Structure 1
């Protein structure tokens, strides 16, 4: 009898403010589905904007300040991301008043959701809340609403944010990954050994999965 392969461990370091993080995940998910690779995905926190003020900042202004992006470049990037998302079943609705937010509270709620086996679901819900629905992820009430919409307890979500009970855990996780050399997201790590940075496309992720499956003792390691 042929033994069943163990699940491929996939760690994804991500921030829900990062459009390429959801694009990269969707590309990876498509490759995993096409091949049928048994896998376990674990999400990890990263803050693109740790110094962002509580009210957030207009996205165009932020990108101009941080990267020197012009309006023309911003429009071209938005068009490319919208097209890439649509091809993968994710809808981007960029607007001129769209804002960037700090996500420390977002990551704390996802840490809480992880204890209930719902971290992946909440991650996806936050991507949609931000990029599709344009909701204010600086607002704790909105964060609790999003958690409630996937079936988590809204009052408990508010309590988690009020007492910041998971703040230290999230900081330690962030520091661990920056200590591993992660400086940008998405960062996808396979079996704790192989790093793919950025949204590299379905074909690239498919190639990586096939290469891992062909390696002795690879594609089967689990934590």
Structure 2
């Protein structure tokens, strides 16, 4: 059977991206007969690197025009969904807004070491589970170490201009393609699945696509 290529456009600061990836993994576990190649691509929910960091609940309240209580309830529901998927969202409501550009750079490097999934999961855990500042280079280097990568090499990359062009290219490419929200799953460069769909829905879609490839 031919390999299905999944380009996953996401942001480290997006809780639904972590949930979407976990649901994808659940879907794939029911489809062992379908080989899949997954590639992560960068998206920035907070692209201004100079914006001051602020507590997430008032930031979301202002962004969506809803009360902080409503946003807290929304986040609490996400925490329940995440727990059922084995994700650590313990401090989802204690985190601060932050820019994720440098984190995306490390994901690009991790991909060259076949560790992109591990890097992304370490970043999700640091931000949603521990409310760490994933714009901070020390935090990012520690995440790289947790992902099985060399912490010193990660620090050197962060201090350099490595992978800046690759991340910028990702952001520009998918913005031009009309991707305005994440997660976005692009299958075989032909099909778009938007949002963190349930595992059963993802599995059904992937089966249909696989059948059309034979």
TM-score normalised to the size of structure 2?
A: 0.93
Post-superposition shift, 1:69? 2.5
Quote the offset at 1:95 in angstroms: 5.7
Please state how far the C-alpha of 1:54 moved relative to its aligned partner.
6.1
1:23–1:97 CA distance, 2 compared to 1 (3 A): closer
Equivalent position to 1:144, from 141, 147, 157: 141
CA distance in 1, matches of 2:205, 2:102: 33
Q: Does 1:118 align with 2:152?
A: no
Please identify the structure whose Cα radius of gyration is greater.
Answer: 1
Pair 1:20 & 2:45 matched: no
Gaps of 5+ in 2: none
Instruction: Answer whether contact 1:55 1:138 (CA < 8 A) is retained.
Output: no
**Larger deviation: 13-22 or 65-74?**
65-74
User: Aligned to 1:32, which of 16, 28, 33?
Assistant: 28
**Structure 1 residues 173-206: Cα deviation after superposition (integer angstroms, max 9, x where no partner):** 2111111111110000111111000012112112
Separation in 1 of the partners of 2:203 and 2:36?
Answer: 14
Can you list the C-alpha shifts for 1:156-178, whole angstroms capped at 9, x where unaligned? 21111112222122101211111
Instruction: Report 1:28-67 matches (<5 A).
Output: 28-36=24-32, 37-53=34-50, 56-67=53-64
Q: How does 1:59-208 map to 2 (within 5 A)?
A: 59-94=56-91, 96-208=93-205
Structure 1 stretches of 5 or more lacking a match? 219-223
Root-mean-square deviation (CA, aligned residues, Å) is 1.6
How many residues in Structure 1 have an aligned counterpart in Structure 2?
213
SS at match of 2:13: coil
Give deviations 1:111-141, integer Å, cap 9, x for gaps: 1111111111101110111111221112111
Is the CA contact 2:186–2:193 (under 8 Å) kept in the aligned structure 1?
Answer: yes
